[in-house]
Amino acid sequence: MEEEDVRRPHRQEAGDDHCSSTLVKHIKAPVHLVWSLVRRFDQPQKYKPFIGRCVVQGDVAIGSVREVHVKSGLPATTSTERLEVLDAHEHVVSVSSAVILFEYIMISIHYNIIGSVAQW
């Protein structure tokens, strides 16, 4: 079931000149509590300790853009990110990002945060 939950929102396939990876993190907390944090496109620093500041351009909605300022010590200093999906029913957040590394290398990242309830 977990593999299906993770793959469901990932519709894009990596091309020959792209790479893809998946990281799964189990959080022992109620879904509603985790969702209350990760759904906040305007406050990623609430669950990402490496973020120092976040500025959203306009209201938070699909298509919103934020500039994230990363704390020192990491190769990146800023990231410009766009909210692609915010699905409260399925607990899915999807964000695309352009990250500048070492002040001259730009990489493009697309990530999803998916919440599901394990059946015991």
- CATH code of the domain in which 60 resides: 3.30.530.20
Q: Looking at the domain assignment, is residue 77 inside a domain?
A: yes
CA distance 1 to 34: 20
Q: If you average pLDDT over residues 85-101, what whole number do you get? A: 82
Residue 94's pLDDT is: 85
Residue 43's pLDDT is: 93
For residue 64, which amino acid is it?
A: S
Q: Looking at the domain assignment, is residue 109 inside a domain?
A: yes
Domain span at 26? 2-11+22-114
6-19: per-residue pLDDT in tens?
A: 555 555 566 666 66
Least confident of 23-27, 94-98, 108-112: 108-112
Q: Looking at the domain assignment, is residue 16 inside a domain?
A: no
Specify the number of domains making up the chain. Answer: 1
The larger pLDDT score, comparing residue 4 to residue 26, is at 26
Q: Looking at the domain assignment, is residue 53 inside a domain?
A: yes
* H, E, C per residue of the chain: CHHHHHHCCCCCCCCCCCCCCCCCCCCCCCHHHHHHHHCCCCCHHHCCCCEEEEEEECCCCCCCEEEEEECCCCCEEEEEEEEEEEECCCCEEEEEEEEEECCCEEEEEEEEEECCCCCC
63-88: per-residue pLDDT in tens?
A: 999 999 888 766 777 888 889 888 88
Q: Looking at the domain assignment, is residue 34 inside a domain?
A: yes
Q: If you average pLDDT over residues 100-104, what whole number do you get? A: 65
Residue 93's pLDDT is: 85
Q: Looking at the domain assignment, is residue 79 inside a domain?
A: yes
Residue 26's pLDDT is: 75
Q: Looking at the domain assignment, is residue 73 inside a domain?
A: yes
